[in-house]
Amino acid sequence: MATLEVKDLHVEIKEEKEQTREILKGVNLTMNTGEIHAIMGPNGTGKSTLSQTIMGNSAYHVTQGDILLNGESILDMPVDERARKGLFLAMQYPAEIQGVTNAEFLRAAINARRPEDDQISVMDFLKELDKNLALLDMSEEMTERYLNEGFSGGEKKRNEILQLLMIKPSFALLDEIDSGLDIDALQVVSKGVNSMRGDNFGSLIITHYQRLLNYIVPDVVHVMMDGRIVKSGDADLAKKLENEGYAGLRDELGLDVSLVDDNR
């Protein structure tokens, strides 16, 4: 069992004229492989900032606290080392990369996590690729296209889940993977994530909508407001938020939080 722990995490970013603004104000979170956690909350409360900071985006500066993977601090590790350690980030807006095909990228990513004397063979790679393409209802033609170039929003999201299935990380940070998906694509993406569930995999899912959690039922739901996790519970908490909104929870907890819509 692997463990990802966020301890009293404070994070700030630089804005115009080199001014800084604190976004995360003391986040505490512990999750193990074998668990699916979901984070919900209004825009502007730090959900995406949390995932980007865990993955090591240099735009986000940690001023206090720590992030531990299996008891080891990863704050000084670059993004690629965190990935090799078993972290994976599926982004809301995946980047397009010219000149590198999906197949080339996937094989390189798999081999980056393996010793030099244990690189995946072409035969094993193609076998695993075909299996996962079938699961996600993706054509082989997509693997020969440049990474995300010319892909629709739904194709990009499926491609992110294909990467997840092929790389097999210990922990996946899924940042609004349901954004812009129709119901059919949502079901396919959810099927891919659910196929990973097991003792060697954990996921932190960031979402605004209960509908995703109807397909990927979380073990734990966290609510973020004003840069902190203010409440945690089981899957029923997400249903309550869907019915009552965040204003009801804010009043219940006696919080005075502005619902800022700046997508951080």
The pLDDT, as a whole number, for residue 259 is 45
- The answer on pLDDT for 41 being more than 80 is yes
- The string of pLDDT tens digits covering residues 66-109 is 999 999 999 999 999 999 999 999 977 777 888 999 999 999 99
For β-strands 36-40 and 202-206, DSSP reports them as parallel
Contacts (Cβ under 8 Å, ≥6 apart) of 248: none
Helix 153-167, helix 183-196: angle, nearest 10: 10
Rounded (to 5) percent helix, strand, coil in the chain: 40, 30, 30
The pLDDT, as a whole number, for residue 260 is 40
Region 111-118: mean pLDDT is 91
- The string of pLDDT tens digits covering residues 141-178 is 989 999 888 888 888 888 999 999 999 999 999 998 88
The pLDDT, as a whole number, for residue 203 is 97
What's the pTM? 0.91
- The string of pLDDT tens digits covering residues 176-225 is 888 888 898 899 999 999 999 999 999 999 998 888 999 999 999 999 99
State the pLDDT confidence band at 227, using cuts at 50, 70 and 90: very high
Map out the domains of the chain with their CATH numbers: 3-97+170-253 (3.40.50.300)
Contacts (Cβ under 8 Å, ≥6 apart) of 239: 210
Nearest to 163 by CA among 91, 234, 114, 227: 91
